[in-house]
Structures are given as C-alpha cells and as structure tokens.
Structure 1
Amino acid sequence: MTNRQSSVLESVPSSPAQLLAAARSAPTPAALVGDTPVLWVGEPFTAAGRGFWAKLEGHNPGGIKDRTALYMVRAARERGQLLPGARIVESTSGTLGLGLALAGVAFGHPVSVVTDPGMEPQVAGLLRAYGAEVHTVSEPHPVGGWQEARRERVAQLLADLPDAWCPDQYHNPDNVAAYAPLARELVAQLGRIDTLVVSVGTGGHSAGIGRVLRSFFPALRVVGVDTCASTIFGQPAGTRLMRGLGSSIHPSNVAYDLFDEVHWVAAPEAVWAARALARTRYATGGWSVGAVALVARWVARTSPAEERIAAVFPDGPHRYVGTVFDDDWCRGHRLLDQVPAEDPQEIARSAEAAVSRWTRCTTVEPPAPAADEGVRGLAGVAR
C-alpha cells in the first residue's frame, strides 16, 4: 500500500456517525446564532508579515444584530414588558430588522420595522418574506435626519397599536449586554487580544464586546470606527451614504470612556476596502466591514508584529450586491477608483475640523447633547 493510499484510508470515517461529528444542527432557527468563526486576514490585503483576525458575524442567519434582537426580546418577555403575541415595532436600516424578524418567528410575535428609502430592496424583500411589516418614511427629519424621522414614525405606530413594544436599540442597555457571548467567543478563539477594532452605530456591540474583553485584558486598545458626517463622536451632522455605522443622534449606549481612539472613514474608502477584501480573502461585507477592515489593516501595519488584533465584521456581502459591489451604482455615487491614503489624517480633537476622508483622533470625548435632544428613549415602551 502506498503512503497516499494509507492517508486516504485513514481519513475515511469508521462509522456513519463520524460523518456528522463536525456538523452543526439546531432545533430552532434562533439556535443558529452565535459561535461564528474567525478568519486570519493577511497579505496581500495587509502588509507583509502583518494581519488581523476577523470575527465573521455574517455567518449568523441575518448578521451580528441577530444576537441583540433575540436577547432584547427575550429579556423584555421575562420582565413582562413584551406580552405574549404582542407586536414588536422598531427603527432599522436593515440588519436589526432581520434579527427582529428572526426573534418574531422564534418567540411568536408580529414585527413592524420602520426604515427609509436607503434600505436595499433585497433586505426589504427578505423582511417581508420573513413576515415583517415594512414602513418607509419619505422625508428626513430636519435635525436628526432619517434616523429621527424613523423614530418619530415608530412613536406614532406605538401610539396606534395596543400592547406594541419597541426595543429602542439606541438606548436599551440590553443591546450592550447581548454581546457578552461574542466577546467570550473571541477569547476562546484567540486566547489573547491586544487590540479590538469595531464599528460604532447604536453603540451596542462596541460597548458589549469591548467591556467584556477589557475585563480579560486590562491593557486592551479599543479602536472605534465611525463614518464621516456622523455625530456620534462630535462631528457635525451631514448626509451619509454609508449605513450600519454612524448616527445622526447620540445613542446613550455608546461607551465613550472605552475608546482609545476613533477613526472616521468615507464611503469611497469603505468601498475600496470591501472590494479589496473580496478579491484577496473571499470574505467581505458592506459599509461597516469595509471601514473596519481599512482601519484594522492600518493598525496591523503600524503595530508590533506580535500584536494580536481582532476586528468585528458585522455582516456579509449579500445585501450589498446592488450597492457596494455594483459598478454602475458606485460610479453614479463617485465611489470607484479612489484608493485610500496609506495613513489617516490626524486631528487633535473631534471639534477641530469637519472631516471628509479617513481621519484619526486619539482624544475621545462625548459630544455635547443637542438642545432639543433630551431624553427620547423608547426602550421598553408598550402602548
């Protein structure tokens, strides 16, 4: 018998049960959430001898927000805030809506989501296929943009629907607590983490992952990734093409004290990184993934070779086939052929200048609240 024949025979299972030993099975769709893989992202996307580990949350049924949707719904049911069979109503740009549709199926609740014209048709179609109602606002709020317009429509629906409940992802602390398992998965998978690179939108997964990891690794460096024209870290509000990160309001879940630095990334830079990832690593995603990958690539190049860097990729590429990965759409928005600089520009404080390209700031402070912002949380609201 040749060595090759011996090797082949050794790899053949001795019993049918062994064929399923590594397969994953689940009694409910909710049980498919979690235990997502990590992937080494190295050259040619990164510099030679450098790289980072990407947590691929696109391996969840709908994306990273499956975790928080299930957690928030379960917690509200346990507290009696969400009654059996009551409707769930929430604002979303897409990923949380998919998670809430999953939670609605898992726990037996009808779901209504409020979105805006920027939601991709594929996502809206999926939400309807999963049984969710989709309400689309037609005009942005003059101060809070599309987010505030969506939230106002949510408030209207809550007033009209008896017993309806809103998780209010922007201000609900359960949105933070939901990500502790993800952080523990990273610890088990990587053993040691020196730097976390994470996008910031509602503030939920950045705070939830970062706080738990820092309890394991007190010297952890946390790098937040935002988008230009987002108000989260004190930049002036503006029109934002990128979805899934950034905000036109100030979510109370953002843990400002957690971050060592923040980077703002522009849409063309995120598109370049998402497409480069696809070509070189066959693992990519949309706006958040592109922005996070660009920053993690720089962190890897500028850090010692032994530094262990974890980056969170919130979703996969499928919903972005008609946007980030569509040449005609990108040309129409002037997003192609704009290779990012090797290094970000630097500002000392967020209020120093309005940024329009990849920019880094190592002084992270909470922004002053807008005069009309007040307390607008809808968490736990039922009508």
Structure 2
Amino acid sequence: MPDLDTSLTPPSSRARNLLGAVGTTPVLWIDDPFTRAPRGFWAKLEGFNPGGIKDRAALHMVARARARGDLRPGAPIVESTSGTLGSGLALAGVLHGHPVHLVTDPGMEPIMKRMLTAHGATVHVVREPHPAGGWQQARCDKVAELLGADPAAWCPDQYNNPDNVDAYAPLATELAEQLGRIDVLVCAVGTGGHSSGIARALLPVMPALCMVGVDTIGSTIFGQPARTRLMRGLGSSIYPRNVDYGAFSEVHWVAPAEAVWAARRLAASHFATGGWSVGAVALVAGWLARTQPVGTRIAAVFPDGPHRYFDTVFNDEFCRANGLLGVSAPEEPERIPAPGAREAVRWTRCTTVTDPLAGTRTRRQQEVAR
C-alpha cells in the first residue's frame, strides 16, 4: 500500500446529532482482485455516512432552502428518489422537523422502502412508466402533482438544483487532504451532483485531473438510448442539468451482471462493498489501475454500502432470476468512438463526451483544440 502525501486526522467520535456523523469518510486501498500491487486505487467510502453519499446533498439543499426562506418551518419536502437521496431527506426531515414525501417506482428495493417509512417518510410509488421519459419522468410528474396539492411544499429538484453540486465541495476537500495529489477520479453519474461538485472544487487546484464517468447501460445521460434499467442509483432516462459534461475525459457504461460481479468480489476480498454504483465504479477503477502507468494516483467514490442491496445485488434468487450469476466481467471494456456509434450492452468505454442537448466538448477536447 503506498504512503499518502498527508496524514489523516481522525474525526471526533462524538456527535450531538447526526449532522456530526456526515462527512470525513475514510479512504481504503483496493488492489486484488482487480489488480496487483503496487497498482491499485483509493476508494472513498461514502457508505460510512448514516445513509450514504447523498446525506451531504440532502442536508445542504435543505439548509440552503431554509436559509433563503424557500422551505418554511414545518413545510413538507417532496422529491423523486431511487433511495439514497430519500434516506438523506428523511434524515433532514427528522433533524429540522419537516414531513418528507418521497416518490419512487416499483424498482425500489423492499428493504429501502421499509427503512424510509421507519424513518418517518411517506413513500409514494408510481405504477406506470411515462411513455417517453420512463419511470423517472413518471416520478417527476407525481412530484409535480403533490406540489400542486400543497402550496407550502418544497422540492429539492436534485436533477437541476445547483445546491446539489455545491454540497460536495467538502467531499473534494476531504479527498485532497487524504490523498494529496489525484491523477484520475472515477465517479458514478446519476443526478450529476457529486461528480460535478468534486470537479468544480478540484480542477482549479488539480488542472491535470482526469475525470472518468461511470454510467449504466440503458441510461441516456451521455447520449445512449434510454432503456428499462435494472441498476439503481446511477443512470437516468432524462437529462439532469447538473451533469458537468465538460469535466469528463471519458465515460464507461457497465452492465448489471458486471456490477454484481465486482460488488461481490469486493465483499469477499475487502469487507468493504456496496451496490450497483460501487460495483460499476470498482470495475472501471480496477481497469484504470491495471492500465495506467505505475504511480498514477486513482481515486474512486463508492457512494454507499451494501445494506440496501440485500434483496438485489447480494440475493442469489434475485440475481439468478435476472441472469446475473455465473458471469465474470471482461478484462477490458469495448470501445466506441462516439456515444451514438452503437448501443452499449456490456462494459463499454468512450473518450468522446458531449452534452446530448448542447454538443459540449470535453475539457480534454477543448484543450486539444486550443
């Protein structure tokens, strides 16, 4: 395991409330089974937050809305979620005294729905996907309906709210303090919040940083066709405007069976794992560790832990029913020259990253053009 540039300062073990338990998450060195020492990557374990990485965004968005007066004392919070942000909003509701209404779809894991309810949230499940925008658009439509029924209600609008991005500046600071130099940063992309927030904070001080986005097959974020998706927490059937397309040097699409393989290998080898996003990010980060020059410092953000995935990623019956068992991830991704060149159905890499709605070139392409 390589030495860090800076020493870690252990956080206080005391917290008067759960606000003090969010942040200052550890980093863990990962090599085998994804690569061999001295190669490897650092994993930022956001599962050490009470509910995962989106505790940061939920608490920050709520705090800013309260400070501006957009969210009045005791007013309801209404949002669409696949789970992790919902957990963070439930935490914010408990801390600040707001009823929380969360809109999801039948794909939410049963354990997640039960825990959100236990934490005081009201969970609304849409039953039919939108004909064009899929489940995500159906959820957004239900949010609009709930907001229309209560003028006092407030929606964080995680897909477009700039406070979602700003919330991750402390995470970027933690990474810089823990690792010093970072050459490559690997992030799953869903709403675009944590990847954009970290990039905004780190790129001015680490201009050579290479940002690698990880998406799921069937997601339209980076210009692939929208399909029914099995994986939760990354990907989208709409275009979140918080995604900073220009910050990415490349994007990888990962299939569910490949993410399951990686998440389970992590669990067996490091006792530190997570669900769909963690498996997908680990797969890509491991490949980068194998193929980049020795000494390249790679950081990968693991958004959550394994607990909500006991009914899916770590459930043999579920995985068997969905054809996810007995599948080993390939040694390397396929490559396509542009997002629209062909549909990704397995792990696929593309070094041309554009905003599907605007045609924005990547930072690397802009530098080459200059």
Q: Check the 8 A contact 2:33/2:265 in 1, yes or no.
A: no
2:67 is aligned to 78
Match of 1:177 among 166, 184, 194: 166
Q: Name the SS of the counterpart of 1:342 in structure 2.
A: coil
CA shift at 1:304, angstroms? 1.0
1:343 is aligned to 332
Give every structure 1 segment of 4 or more consecutive aligned residues whose post-TM-superposition deviation is greater than 6 Å.
none
Amino acid at match of 1:184: T
Match of 2:18 among 25, 29, 43: 29
User: Structure 1 345/22 Cα, relative in aligned 2: closer, same or farther at 3 Å?
Assistant: closer
| Structure-2 separation of matches of 1:162 and 1:359 | 45
Q: Name the SS of the counterpart of 1:335 in structure 2.
A: coil
Match of 2:123 among 122, 134, 153: 134
| Structure-1 separation of matches of 2:154 and 2:66 | 10
Match of 2:350 among 350, 361, 374: 361
1:256 is aligned to 245
Q: Is it true that 1:269 corresponds to 2:276 in the alignment?
A: no
CA shift at 1:22, angstroms? 7.2
2:183 is aligned to 194
| Structure-2 separation of matches of 1:332 and 1:44 | 26
CA shift at 1:45, angstroms? 3.2
Amino acid at match of 2:248: F
| Structure-2 separation of matches of 1:30 and 1:273 | 31
CA shift at 1:73, angstroms? 0.3
Number of equivalenced pairs: 349
CA shift at 1:86, angstroms? 0.3
Q: Is it true that 1:42 corresponds to 2:27 in the alignment?
A: no
Deviations 1:44-83 (A, max 9, x none): 3323421000000000000000000000000001111001
Match of 2:313 among 324, 327, 332: 324
Q: Runs of 5+ in structure 2 lacking a partner?
A: 1-9, 359-370
Match of 2:222 among 222, 226, 233: 233
Q: Is it true that 1:309 corresponds to 2:298 in the alignment?
A: yes
Q: Name the SS of the counterpart of 1:260 in structure 2.
A: strand
CA shift at 1:23, angstroms? 5.6
Q: Name the SS of the counterpart of 1:350 in structure 2.
A: coil
1:88 is aligned to 77
Match of 1:97 among 86, 100, 103: 86
Deviations 1:137-158 (A, max 9, x none): 0011111111000000000000
Amino acid at match of 1:162: P
Q: Check the 8 A contact 1:84/1:108 in 2, yes or no.
A: yes
- Larger radius of gyration between Structure 1 and Structure 2: 1
Q: Check the 8 A contact 1:43/1:49 in 2, yes or no.
A: no
Percent of aligned pairs sharing the same letter: 66
Q: Is it true that 1:124 corresponds to 2:104 in the alignment?
A: no
1:8 is aligned to none
Q: Check the 8 A contact 2:11/2:24 in 1, yes or no.
A: no
Amino acid at match of 1:63: G
Q: Name the SS of the counterpart of 2:43 in structure 1.
A: strand
CA shift at 1:130, angstroms? 0.8
What do you get for the CA RMSD once the two structures are aligned? Answer: 1.1
Q: Name the SS of the counterpart of 2:230 in structure 1.
A: coil
TM (norm. structure 2) is 0.93
Match of 1:352 among 318, 338, 341: 341
Q: Name the SS of the counterpart of 1:351 in structure 2.
A: coil
Q: Runs of 5+ in structure 1 lacking a partner?
A: 1-20, 370-383
Amino acid at match of 2:283: L
Q: Is it true that 1:293 corresponds to 2:285 in the alignment?
A: no
| Structure-2 separation of matches of 1:121 and 1:321 | 10
2:267 is aligned to 278
CA shift at 1:42, angstroms? 1.2
CA shift at 1:162, angstroms? 2.8
Match of 1:216 among 173, 190, 205: 205
Amino acid at match of 1:367: P
Q: Check the 8 A contact 2:34/2:283 in 1, yes or no.
A: no
Amino acid at match of 1:143: A
1:108 is aligned to 97
CA shift at 1:163, angstroms? 0.2
